């Protein structure tokens, strides 16, 4: 018998003898002569029959039927068509008849949770005591995250993290095809990259350092170094004490930055095309995974705009749509989370798309490096230096923010002025920012870019109720373990 290739996509021949290592999803003794086991492999499972015969003792049947779930076994078996046709979508159309079986690694008989618990949706907030249709209590998100190794074994978790990996691949594939270079910028910084409020401080020999809140300053310095098109996939740290379903203290940033010729909308268009490439790539390459996860959470398919027709709204238009719907909101107010969701629903109704772009955000609510719009610069009033709009944009999926971006100020003197005038002024002469500002004294082309939260895309593509489900080992204000 041959050792089966676990990663082969072709089914083994009927009647072939194969040797393989398997995870026992469950085992039960049917009678003294017959036991059934279910083996799990990635997204699928296969049933195994252990029947007493001349060459297989009743003792062996009993032993097989009482193997603790989650144990790892080495099996020699014969491939057969099942006695009854298989109804499940994850169980394969073949079964195996066991000839030999050894335990490679035995799992504890009492596990802190079952893998089956990980295949149910997490309870809705405030419904921790909820019971499933079968009357069993639903294991809470906390219990699942505390026992993440078992939890991750669930099929839909395997699907989630294959999709996440696929998004990174598609991000890089698209941008490389457009001439972007992958970069790795420092995570240990001499100064906060996005203002001081949400930065983690770490001791660094005799001094202190900060964990990167974004590669912002460095991706721009790479433009000044004339790389023109750069991208980065890397960890992002935020000391935000936000205990919400969409904030993590460590997440993965998909960042890009590019020099443009005439107008920052060249970059917005590039980013829109990037997102459509990712969405279409997920549809083509990860359909099985997406369908599996959405079926558990009973989520509808993600509605894509027609090619090239991503709804792109001026911030003013967004505010007007909200007002027409009865929301009281000022012209230059930031959108609250409920406003964002409401606007997402209005856009879906009007344009039939779960993905859209909000452009020209108010200057006052964007970071210091953001370029004020041409009209704002023309109407400049020193008494009110943060009035008006800016060349900045957010991307939304299912009414939640997945990306922020902007045209950046590429003139050192103007940048210093904006740093002084910003709603929260920043010291351009400080150690950590001096080199950044200087980069623009040596001639830097106009540029713009954006930063995407990878876990947010995963969450919203699949309709997951919590961003923690899109992180292998999530970090939040009250979780550093496991």
**Subset of 223-282 contacting ligand AMO (CB under 6 A):** 238, 240, 247-248, 251, 255
Q: How far is the CB of 23 from ligand AMO (least distance, A)?
A: 32
What single string gives the DSSP state of each residue in 157-175? Answer: HHHHHHHHHHHHHHHHHHH
One of 120, 156, 229, 247 is an active-site residue; which one? 247
Q: Does 423 bind ligand ATP (CB under 6 A)?
A: no
**Residue 150 in tokens:** 């078992």
Quick check: is 314 catalytic?
no
β-pair partners for 119: none
Q: Which does 366 bind (CB under 5 to 8 A by kind): ligand ATP, ligand AMO, none?
A: none
Contact pick of 207, 243, 298, 478 for ligand ATP (by CB under 6 A): 243
In DSSP notation, 181-244 reads: EE----SEESS-SS-STT--EEEETTEEEEE-S-SHHHHHHHHHTT--EEEEEEEEE------S
Question: Between residues 47 and 216, which has the closer beta carbon with respect to ligand AMO?
Answer: 216
Name the DSSP letter for residue 384.
Answer: S
CB-neighbour burial class of residue 327 (10 A; exposed 0-12, middle 13-18, buried 19+) = middle
The SS3 of residue 259 is strand
Task: Choose the contact partner of 244 out of ligand ATP, ligand AMO, none; CB within 5 to 8 A by kind.
Answer: ligand ATP
Q: Which is nearer to ligand ATP, 45 or 471 (CB)?
A: 471
Q: Measured from the CB of residue 144, what is the shortest distance to ligand AMO in angstroms?
A: 19
Query: What letter does residue 478 receive in the DSSP assignment?
Result: T
Q: How far is CA 196 from the centre of its chain?
A: 26
Cα–Cα distance, 287 to 334 (Å, whole number): 36
CB of 242 to ligand ATP, least distance (A): 4
Catalytic residue among 156, 342, 456, 468: 456
State in Å, rounded, how far the first CA of the chain is from the last one: 41
Residue 96 tokens read as 């195996």
Interface residue with ligand AMO, options 67, 221, 276, 402 (CB under 6 A): 402
CB of 474 vs ligand ATP, minimal distance in Å: 15
Our CB check for ligand ATP shows the closer of 272 and 401 to be: 401
Environment class of 370 (CB within 10 Å of its CB; exposed 0-12, middle 13-18, buried 19+): buried
List the interface residues with ligand AMO, window 92-111 (CB under 6 A): none
- 53: helix, coil or strand? strand
Applying CB under 6 A, which of residues 166, 388, 451, 474 lies at the interface with ligand AMO?
451
CA–CA distance, 21 with 78 (Å, rounded to integer): 14
- Judged by CB under 6 A, the residue of 354, 401, 416, 455 near ligand ATP is 401
Taking CB under 6 A as the binding criterion, the range among 227-235, 287-295, 331-339, 438-446 that sits at the site for ligand ATP is 331-339
CB of 246 to ligand ATP, least distance (A): 7
Give the active site residue among 238, 342, 408, 468: 238
Contact 368, 392 (CB under 8 A): no
Task: CB nearer to ligand AMO: give 64 or 391.
Answer: 391
Query: How far, in Å, are 175, 316, 336, 391, 411 from residue 329 at the CA level?
Result: 37, 11, 10, 21, 34
* 266 is a catalytic site residue: no
447 touches ligand AMO (CB under 6 A)? no
Among 184, 336, 377, 430, binds ligand ATP (CB under 6 A): 336
Which positions lie near ligand ATP, rule CB under 6 A? Answer: 242-244, 334, 336-337, 401, 404
Residues known to be catalytic: 238, 240, 246-247, 401, 404, 456
Which positions lie near ligand AMO, rule CB under 6 A? Answer: 194, 214, 216, 238, 240, 247-248, 251, 255, 401-406, 449-453, 455-456, 467
């Amino acid at each position: 018998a041959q050792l089966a290739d676990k990663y082969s996509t072709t089914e083994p021949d009927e009647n072939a003898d194969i040797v393989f290592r398997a995870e026992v999803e469950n085992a039960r003794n049917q009678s003294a002569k017959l036991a059934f086991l279910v083996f799990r492999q990635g997204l699928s499972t296969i049933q195994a029959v252990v029947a007493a015969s001349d060459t297989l003792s009743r003792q062996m049947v009993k032993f097989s039927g009482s193997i603790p779930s989650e144990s790892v076994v080495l099996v020699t078996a014969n491939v057969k068509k099942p006695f009854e046709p298989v109804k499940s979508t994850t169980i394969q159309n073949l079964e195996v008849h066991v000839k030999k079986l050894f335990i490679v690694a035995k799992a504890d008989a009492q596990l802190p949770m079952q893998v089956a618990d990980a295949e149910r949706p997490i309870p809705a907030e405030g419904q921790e005591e909820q019971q499933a249709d079968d009357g069993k209590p639903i294991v809470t998100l906390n219990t699942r995250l505390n026992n993440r190794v078992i939890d991750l074994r669930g099929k839909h978790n395997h699907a989630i993290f294959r999709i996440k990996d696929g998004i990174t691949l598609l991000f890089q594939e698209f941008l490389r095809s457009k001439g972007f270079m992958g970069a790795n910028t420092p995570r240990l910084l001499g100064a906060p990259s996005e203002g001081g409020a949400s930065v983690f401080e770490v001791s660094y020999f005799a001094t202190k350092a900060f964990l990167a809140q974004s590669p912002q300053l460095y991706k721009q310095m790479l433009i000044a170094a004339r790389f023109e098109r750069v991208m980065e996939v890397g960890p992002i740290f935020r000391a935000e004490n936000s205990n919400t379903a969409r904030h993590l203290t460590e997440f993965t940033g998909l960042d890009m930055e590019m020099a443009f010729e005439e107008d920052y909308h060249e970059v917005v268009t590039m980013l829109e095309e990037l997102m459509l490439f990712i969405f279409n790539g997920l549809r083509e390459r990860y359909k099985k995974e997406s369908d599996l996860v959405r079926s558990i959470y009973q989520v509808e398919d993600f509605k894509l705009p027609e090619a090239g027709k991503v709804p792109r709204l001026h911030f003013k238009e967004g505010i007007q749509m909200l007002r027409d719907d009865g929301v009281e909101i000022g012209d230059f107010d930031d959108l609250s989370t409920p406003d964002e969701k409401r606007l997402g629903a209005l856009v879906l109704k009007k344009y039939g798309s779960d993905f859209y772009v909000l452009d020209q955000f108010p200057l006052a609510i964007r970071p210091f490096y953001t370029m004020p719009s041409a009209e704002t610069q023309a109407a400049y009033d020193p008494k009110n230096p943060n009035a008006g709009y800016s060349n900045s944009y957010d991307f939304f999926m299912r009414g939640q923010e997945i990306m922020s971006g902007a045209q950046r100020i590429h003139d050192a003197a103007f940048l210093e002025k904006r740093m002084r005038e910003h709603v929260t002024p920043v010291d351009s002469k400080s150690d950590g920012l001096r080199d950044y500002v200087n980069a623009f004294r040596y001639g830097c082309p106009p540029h713009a870019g954006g930063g995407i939260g990878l876990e947010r895309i995963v969450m919203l593509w699949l309709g997951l109720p919590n961003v923690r489900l899109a992180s292998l080992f999530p970090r939040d204000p009250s979780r550093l373990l496991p």
